[in-house]
Amino acid sequence: MGYCLGVGQRDLASEPINVETLRLIREGFAASGMTQEELSRACEVPRSSLANMLSPTAAPRLIHVGQLVRIAVALGADPRAWMGELEAFERKRRGDLAPRRARRRPAPQVQKRAARSKPAGEE
């Protein structure tokens, strides 16, 4: 999400996708058995910021992608799985249930570096 004129962080923090992100973090933390201090050290996010994210009564705070990935890794969760859940949530919310478009043509073959660096005619 980029900069939106006239929209502050408080407005973005209340967006459904961000609230869903907070839910994932809270559930992951509850299942981890870690303390806030342990999680803070593991993901390098200040404990006070984590406390605000984890508090169900605090106003929602904007979660940055880097924070989400570091927190997921520290909790032992797969960040890609969380992103998949967030994508499914957003598609359902928007009514866009169609899967992502497949490539029209297959991806090009990737050669190993050694194969690319040989001069023509040499094998």
pLDDT at 45: 93
Strands (E), the chain: none
Question: How many angstroms separate the CA atoms of 22 and 79, rounded?
Answer: 14
Please report the domains of the chain, with CATH numbers, ordered by start residue.
Answer: 9-94 (1.10.260)
User: Residue 86: its pLDDT value, please?
Assistant: 93
CA torsion 61-67-71-73 (nearest 10°) is 160
Give the Cα separation of 46 and 70 in Å (integer).
Answer: 12
pLDDT means over runs of 10, the chain (123 residues)? 55 84 94 95 94 88 91 95 92 76 66 63 59
